[in-house]
Structure formats: C-alpha cells, structure tokens
Structure 1
Amino acid sequence: MADDNANTIENMVKSFRVSELQVLLGYAGRNKSGRKNELLARALQLVQKNCSASIEMRVHDLYKKFESNRRRFPSNAAKNGTSGLVDMKTNLTGYSSFPHSLLAPHVMDFLGETPSSTSTQSHPIPCDVTLKPLPFYDHLENILPPVSLTPRGTSRNQEAAFTFHLTPHQTQLITQCRDPSLSGGIEYPVQVQLRFCLLERTSEQKDDFPSSCSVRINHRTVTLPNPIPTNKPDVEPKRPSRPVNITHYCKLSSSSTHSMVVGWTTTFQKNFCVSIYLVRQQTSDVLMQKLKQKGHRHPDHTKALIKEKLTTDRDSEIAISSLWVSLQCPLGKMRINIPCRCLTCQHLQCFDASSFIRMNERKPTWQCPVCFKPADYRDLIIDGYFVEILNECPLENEEIQFFEDGTWQPMKPKKSLKRSDSCSSFEENNKVSPAKICTVIDDGDSSDVTREREKETCNNSKKFIDCIDLTETDDEIQTFEPETVTCFSTDSRSGGSPVRYTSSSEDDDETDSLEGSGVWSVQNDVLVLEET
C-alpha cells in the first residue's frame, strides 16, 4: 500500500510543469533554479528520500490546482495559437472590477494575480515572542509589538503591509537628542529600531532576517545589513543578526501615519515576526560603568571553585595538584586590567572587561574568548579574587599557580628561564676540539714523509655567533665538529712555495684560508710555523 502511494506521488510530480516544480522545491527549501530536467530530478529525490506528510500534502495541493486549471482552460492555444489565450485573458479582465474575494482562485492565477503574494494586514496578529535584549541599546517604548509574518496562499514570495504611529512624547525624545555629525548628517541617540526574529515562544530569540527580506517605509527602500557570503552549495547567504535603524525613514511628526511593507520568501517550517521599538543607544563606557556598579564577585567563591577543581577524585587515575592561569587577556595579549568572567563559564581564566566590551561594540558576537561559548553582557561579573591577585602580583609575572587550598604564587617568566638554559647548553655543546695538522714534504719522486702533530688551536678557532632559538629544546641542539687534516707540500712545480691541501670529514669542496700568525721556515726538510 505504501509503494502504491509512493508511485502515485512520483507520477504527480512527473506531470508538473516548471512552475509547480519550483513551488514544491521552494516549499522544501531546496534550490529552485535550473532547467526542467534538473528541477524534476531534485523533486523526485525529495519525494523518494524525504517524503514527509507536509511534502505529500503539498504535492496533492499542487496537483489539484494543476488539474483544475487544465480542465477549466482546455488547450485552446493548441487549436487557435497564442491568440486564444490573449482573447480569453482579455475577456476575463472584466473581472478585475469585482473584489478579489469573489473571483475563483483559478481565474486569479490565469490573470497573473496572486492575492497571497501581497497581503495587507490591517489587523496584525500579535505574537508572544521575547527578543534578546541588546546591551548597546536601552529599550524605552514599544512602537509596534512583535507581529507574525503569516504567509497567505501557496506563493512562496510574500508581502505584508503594516502601519504605525509615533506619539508626541516619542517624537520629542527623538528630536531633542539628535546631534549633527561631522559627515554632514544627523545622528540620533534615540532611535526607531526595526527587528526581525523567528516565531518561537520557547526561549528568547536573537535577531534573524527572513529569506530574501526587503522593507519599504513610506515608499522608501530600507537599507538592510549586507548578506554574509557562503561557499556552501544550495545555501542562501544570511544577513548578520543585528537590528536596523529606521529613524531616517520616519516622519518626525506625531500626526503622520507611517506605512511599512515587508517582503520575504517563505522557508520550510520557519515563520518570522517583525517589531519596532524606541531605543536609546549606549556606548562602551556606559556599559563599563554599569558593570562596575554590579560589584565584584566575592573571593571566597573563586577559592571554592579552585578547591573543587583540584580535589582528588578516587575513581580518577589522574590527580591534579595545581593549576596555571595567565594574567594576560586572550583578546589583546596585554595584562588584564579589570578581570571579568561569564557566570555560565566553568574555567578560571579571566579576560579584560574593557577590551571585551569594546570588541563587541564594533562587532557584536558576545562570545567568551576563552571557551568560545555565549557570554551575554548581563551574565558578566568582575572576579574579586583576581582583582586582589593583580594588585599583589608583580608586573613582570605573566602567570600564577593555584594550589589545592586556594592559595597562589607567581610563576617565573618563561622567556628569561628558557634563555638562560639555552645559553648554558649552547656553550657546553660548542667547545672547540683540537685540530690535527699533518705536514708532508714532497721532494720530486721521493716517497711521502708524514708527521702528525696535535696542537691546541683555541686561539685560531673560528668565532661563533651567539644565536639562540627559543623554539628549540636543549635536546635538539647538536653541534658537528668536523676533523680537519691540513697538508703542506714544497713541490717544485709550485716554485718552492708551500701548497696547502685540506681534507675534511664533511663533503665540502671549499678550501678554508690559512689562519694563524707566525713565520714559516724549513728545518730538516720539515715546514715549521714559528709563533711570533
């Protein structure tokens, strides 16, 4: 029985035109661009692998509509050409004087009018949705409470019209606080703010724009945040989650009626709502002052958290005896000035409150820089124990160590410790070994006479450049000391002048220059260097 139903659904989809296939794919949130064979393949894949009850119902509705139009408007175009359609549509235009509610749906579709695509919500439906508070905007009054963007009809492209008014008190607040900017415009600390969010009543909702969203206020197109590009296929770019300032699009008069038209594209199993508020913009300095007014968290709370983390668990094979915490902010890599942490975080590491708030003023993410979890402004708290530590710990110390009883001690700076260890190991591993000098006297066809002399050549050793690599450990420092054998010959072919031959353990064809100071002389057929 299930197979027969699946075959019926597939046959319905195969009979669809391009318009029905696009509506079905758009309803399911799939890509609706391409040729008919591509659209048909996607639609068949949709009904074969993910044929839910809503998809099946949508297929039946589209098929009924398709069959109704085909029965009521037979193929006159096939008999009479395209003129039949033109004449029929011309005759039906007389219905345009009648209210749309009296016209049959198939007549509206044939006339090219989709009443569902443009709906005027004269009585908007309020919805019990709570939006997340924005730290940099102080909420003053509601202008348009959250109302749902309810799609009407089967068209995916929807529009909804709203009206709102500004009271004399609201208009006075906006005009009294406006400030001319340096760029020639006018800045409004008190703003009319537009917000979109999902229609969900279970929790606080963040700002979220519908797909292909567009807004017109008083017949002027509102500039929305630019969509964020994405490399994922078949995924529409989303706009950043932030409110929209529409003060410049409003008439600052209490007697004016403001019209707003919102356009969007329906998304599968997602509904949205829109709202308008009167807010006052805040700065990072104001937020810092509010955070300080909340007070410090008691040091005993942090000590208890340290003891809890360092308590030995009998079932655990790993025992933690101490904890290291940095006194540098993970954001600016500078010493923390005001230690702050989110109440929902479980780590001890703090960050600088001023740097965190200023960063979110430029780009509001409100994410903990340590554990990367959400960190709302209302959950931030100044740690009193870390305030005491920063006041007592010397400036040159960048880390501290916590113990099981909650006490702490500063750690020695890593850079100075590593540099001293590297210097000592480098000097020990780079001692100069004595060189072996072999002197050979070549007198024509006579046999070679070789004498080896060992002599300390510390004064003639090469000078090493003290180069310390902080990324290396002591075990990685290796020195290669090739043993060099130098031979001198008084060959007659060289005019009686000594000739130097160098043999090295390394594969090096270069010959080093003769080093040392003194006077060379021949004594008993042996070339000797007398030091001066």
Structure 2
Amino acid sequence: MASSSLQHMAQGLIVQSKTLINNDLKRILKEEGVVSSGVKATLQARVIGLIDRAVQDNDHALYNRLQHRIANNGASPSSQSTPSYNPQTPTKSSPLVNGNGNMQGYPQPTGFTHYQMARSAPTNHFKASPFFEIRESILEGIALEPSPSHRQNCNKSLTLNETTCHRLRSDRSLRLLLFSAVEQPLAPYTRLDVAFPSQIEVRINGEEARANYKGLKNRPGSTRPADITDLVRIAPANYRNNLLITYALTQKRYNLAIYMVRKFSVEELAKRIAELCIIPKRDVLKDMRKKASDPDIVVESSVMSLKDPISTLKMTVPCRGMLCHHTRCFDLESFLQLQEQAPTWQCPICSNHVSFEALAVDEYVQEILSKVPKAVDQVTVEPDGRWSIQAANTSSKSNAHSDDDDSDEDLVEISGPRVNTIKSEVFATPQSLARTPPIPSREASSAPRTGSKRGSEVIDLTLSDDDEPVRPTKKVAQGDPPYPPFIDSSP
C-alpha cells in the first residue's frame, strides 16, 4: 500500500529528476539495475518509474536512495549521509531554514529528513525556472483578498536575521524575489505560474519596487517574480522593513511570498548547455540523408540563414530544440535573454514549445559558422549535408548588379546653357500672371482677342534639335547668361 507521505513528496522529486542531464540519469538507472540506453525522454520515464515503484511498494529505502542520487547528480548515498525516514519521530525545524525542500524540486540540504522538508515546504509551489533556485523562505502568508472596485492596501513587516543578512552581503548571486499566484484549491499538489493582480504597486520602506507585473498579454507563465533585493535593508540585522502592497480591480485571491533564491546568469546557463547538451554532427547528417533518401519526399538544396531570428545578428552559439525537426538554429544567449525577460519557452523558428532541458548546441551549424568568413550570413545546403558559399551569394550579387544597371539607365544627367534656358522658360512666371484678377473678371469672355498679346506657347521637350522648328529670336532674360560663342576647335 502506498504511503501518503511518499505520495505527497514524490511529485517534487519527479520535477527535480527532470532537471538532470543524460549522464546523471544513466548513472541512476545503471546503479539501480535498469536499462540505461535511449534518449533523454526515455531515461526520464524510467527514473520516474522507479519513483512510482518506491511509492507504490512503500519502499522508503529505495525512495531515500533515489532522492539522494537525484540531488547529487546520480552519486550513490554513503552510509553516513543517508537520511533515515521515520514519520513517528519528527524533528521540529526552523521556519527560516531552506524551505523549498523536495516539494519545490530543488536539491535537498544535507542533514534534513524528508519529514522536515515536508514541514518546512512553502505554501505556494511555483514552477521551476532555470534562472533561479529557491534557497530559503523569507516571508509567507501574504494574502490579497478580492477587490473588484476599490483600492486595497496590505502592510507587512519584513525582518531578516543575522545569518540571512550575512549570506546576502557575501554572495551577490543571492536575491530576494517576490512571488505571487492566484489561489487554487489544489495548490499544494500543482506547480503555479507567477501572476500578480492587474493593478498592483509594491513599496519597500517607501520606495517603489519597479517590475513587470503583467507579463505578456494572454500568455500565462510569462510573468517573472519581482526582485526587491536592492530595496530591502540588510544592515543592521533584524531591521524592520516595511512592505506596502496596493492593488485593485481583481476578483480573485492572490497569495504572495518572498524567497531568497540563487540566481543564474544567462552566461552561466549558456555555458552549461554548450558543455553538456550537444547534437553531434553525425546525427544531423544522418537525419538529413535519411530524409533525402525517402522516395516519397522530394528534397532540394536550400539556403540556410546564419542570422539569429531574434536579434537578426549573426549567431555565435547555434542552438535548437532536440525535438525540433528543422535544421536552422537560433543564437543560444539571445534566446535565453528573451526567456529571462518573458519566459514563453517557444521556438522562434517553428513556434513549438521548447524547454530549457531540451536545448542543445548544433555541432553541424557550429562547424559552418567556424569556417565561413564573417561577412557571409547564409549558405546553400545540399540534401546530403554538403554546403557551399558561392551559390548562396550569387543571387544577391546579380540582383545588386542589375539594380546598378537600372539606376544607370534611368538616371541621365543633362547639363548645359541651353537646358538652363529651357528650364527658365518653363518654370518662370510672367509678371502679368502673378496678379490675381478680381472675381467678376474670371468669367470667360466671348469677345475676340485684340491687341498685340501673344498666346502661350507649348514647348515639346521630346523633340530633338533636328526636328525643332525655327523659332524667332527672343530677348535674353536678365540674370540668364548669354549663349557661349561657338568655337571650332578643328584644325
């Protein structure tokens, strides 16, 4: 019969197992006597199967081993460090010690039993993120009641003990984050997205904590927790910080909490993926040749862009999801920076969901980037995997050449005193037309014209000099230079 305590903690252990890399999963399966070959999804399913078996058989020894292995990258537990599970003799734990425990899916601190971790687990269980790891619960029990029409205030005191203050001062990667989520009936058994009320203002000691509390529109899970570290006074210890939350226009109850987390930079995460998760070149070529040999599919050469679709710059570390079926990649750091700002975890090429664990560096595209000149941003890829540069840039060069030719033919510059005279005749406005006659005189007159006034002449600029009729001599306008004399330079 399955133990209710094990069932309660197994969900967090399953989430934590999904953060392991292939080598750790294989090591766990091999030492537990299970087949350790296959892709990552298969390895994860086998480890989860071991956890489920321990829960169903109420096998605390197996569960303890699995928890130690998952928390220590597959390492075997020693006889001294193996914690004993004894629900009859619980040990009272401090409310401020590492409260994430197994329920959050993060590494278990040494010296704590499973019962202690269950007792100190946070009330709100948020979805894990590769950008931070929850280390300690600082303040919980912040409830925002529904307020559909009026503004409401919530005041709380935040006091940090000397140990927490010392850790924050000595390690800059430790941050204080404000989490929020909509209250749900099954919150202890589910992973919640970070979500704040639509209108909220957070102040620490009178200063506003500026953050993006809304995320992307109609995209649950795209909101980040608010970083309030710089506004909290950590010296002196036991200082009473004032937390004021003002909110409105919400019909749901929100639960907020403050956790101390270990924050990971984009560079650290990119380095971890580049070292551990690689799609070998031989696997890429094997897949391309398999598609090319399919008689039902006609595969031709294609142009592959070497630019990142997010930043439009040339890629540095080409990356794609291991479950994506396209060969084109995106830049690893640019993608992680985008997810840090708004975590949607969507492939920018095929728009499919791609998790952090599924990201991998494409060795085939990385080799192309290392061999092409800096000015080249696309290559032509053949169905068998061969690639070239010349064919990719021929079209752009020919288009540029044709554009230059067209521009040379269309734009013809004509200069000379004769052209200037014609321009002055066309655009000059006679003084007799500059004056506007009164309104009654604008009516058409049927009387014949008398006098010596000449009618307006129409000048056809399409006529050549040979076809142009002989025109009477005209007076040169003031300011226009006279025609230059004809000089016969022939001997």
The TM-score, its normalising length taken from structure 2, stands at 0.48
Structure in which a larger fraction of residues adopt strand = 1
Larger Rg computed on CA atoms: 1
Higher relative contact order (CA 8 A, sep 6+): 2
